[in-house]
Amino acid sequence: MGQSRWARMFHAAAQAPTFAGSIRAHRQARGILGNPALTVYDNPRSFLMCVYNRDRALCHRLDVTDAPRLDRCQPSCANVARTDHHADQLLQHAQVLERQAAFEALPGPLAERLARRADQLRELADRHELDRIHTQEPTA
């Protein structure tokens, strides 16, 4: 099927909205990936998991397909789910872009573009921090 080991396809995408948004940890990610009621794709290039629900997909509004267009992934899509690991990756990549943008020999417009992209990645990481689903703390 040409997918990574994370990419496991299941049926009943109608339940996907239950898990749309940020999630906290790998354990929760495994729970999603192990849920036979969900269709889940790993999208490492966009630092996220796609919990696929065709009706909510922003990557192929006009296509008649039962698979997401991971190469056209939109950060504002309701099918996006991120773990803390994804958020860490966003921040690491933002740092790389910021270092590149600070390189003196870089033309101004390119440096600005890299800096803007870094800002966008940081915003996505911040959004994850605000939106993530917290596991219930044990009560004393």
Q: Give the binding site for ligand SF4 (CB under 6 A).
A: 43, 50, 52, 57-59, 68-70, 73-74, 77, 79-80
- Residues 80 and 46: their CA atoms lie apart, in Å, by 10
* Shortest distance in whole angstroms from residue 81 CB to ligand SF4: 8
Question: What residues have CB less than 8 Å from 98, skipping those under 6 apart?
Answer: 114, 115, 118
Task: Give the residue carrying structure tokens 């267009």.
Answer: 69
| Rounded least distance, CB 122 to ligand SF4, Å | 20
Q: Rounded to the nearest whole angstrom, what is the least distance from the CB of residue 79 to ligand SF4 in the complex?
A: 4
- Interatomic CA distance for residues 32 and 29, integer angstroms: 5
Judged by beta carbon, residue 48 or residue 111, the one nearer ligand SF4 is 48
CA distance 140 to 132: 24
Based on CB atoms, which residue is closest to ligand SF4, 73 or 111?
A: 73
For residue 33, give the H/E element and its range: helix 26-33
Nearer to ligand SF4, 111 or 124 (CB): 124
Instruction: Write down the least CB distance from residue 43 to ligand SF4, Å.
Output: 6
